[in-house]
Amino acid sequence: MNGVISSNNFQMADSEAGGAKPDSFIKKRKPSSDYALKKRVPHRNSHRKNDVYVTSKSTSQSQLALCEKLFDSGESEIFIYGLGSAVCPAINIALQLKEKYPRVYEVSVETSTVDIVDDLEPLVDQVDYETQTRQNSAVRIRVYRIQPETVKS
C-alpha cells in the first residue's frame, strides 16, 4: 500500500509476507500520518541455476513444472526458497514433487529467520526518511534425487 499508514494497512502488508502477527509487532512500527511504509527486496544469497524462489503470487503448477524441468535438465538437487507467506507454497511444491515421483526425490528442510528492511517514506516536508527492521521466517528446502541403489533396497 502506498497509502497513509494505519493499523489496517499494516495487516494488508503483512498478509503478503507472513500472515497475522502479534499485536506487539504491529505497535513497533511508526503509526503516523507523516510516513508511508515502503518495502525493500529481501536479500537473496544464492543465484545458481537450481535455485527456485517461490512467492505468494506465483502459481504452484508452473513452479512445479519449473522444478521438474530443472531435474530433467540434469540437476541432481534443487533448492526451493520461501519467505513469509510464501513458506506454505514452497513446502507445497516440495511435497508435491515428492508425491508425484514416489521414491525418487527426498527433501531436507532448513528454516531460518530473515531480517527485512522497510523504508518509512516521509509524507510531509518536516521529517526525514527512516528505516525499520523486522524479522520474518524463511524456509529453504533441498529436494534431491535418491540414489538408485537405495530405491532398489
Burial call 33-42: b when 16+ CB within 10 Å, e when fewer = ebbbbeeeeb
**Which single residue is written with the C-alpha cell 530443472?**
70
Q: Which is nearer to other proteins, 101 or 110 (CB)?
A: 110
Binding-site member from 41, 74, 113, 153 for other proteins (CB under 8 A): 41
Cα(73)–Cα(71) distance, rounded to whole angstroms?
5
**Judged by CB under 8 A, does residue 19 bind other proteins?**
no
What is the full DSSP assignment across 18-56?
TS---HHHHHHS--STTEEEEE-PPP-----TTEEEE-T
Applying CB under 8 A, which part among 39-47, 73-81, 88-96, 103-111 lies near other proteins? Answer: 39-47
Considering the complex, state which of residue 6 and residue 108 has its C-beta at the smaller distance from other proteins: 6
Please report whether residue 62 would count as binding other proteins according to CB under 8 A.
Answer: no
User: Binding residues for other proteins, per CB under 8 A?
Assistant: 1-4, 6, 8-9, 12-13, 16-17, 38-48, 55, 57, 115, 117, 119, 121-129, 131, 133
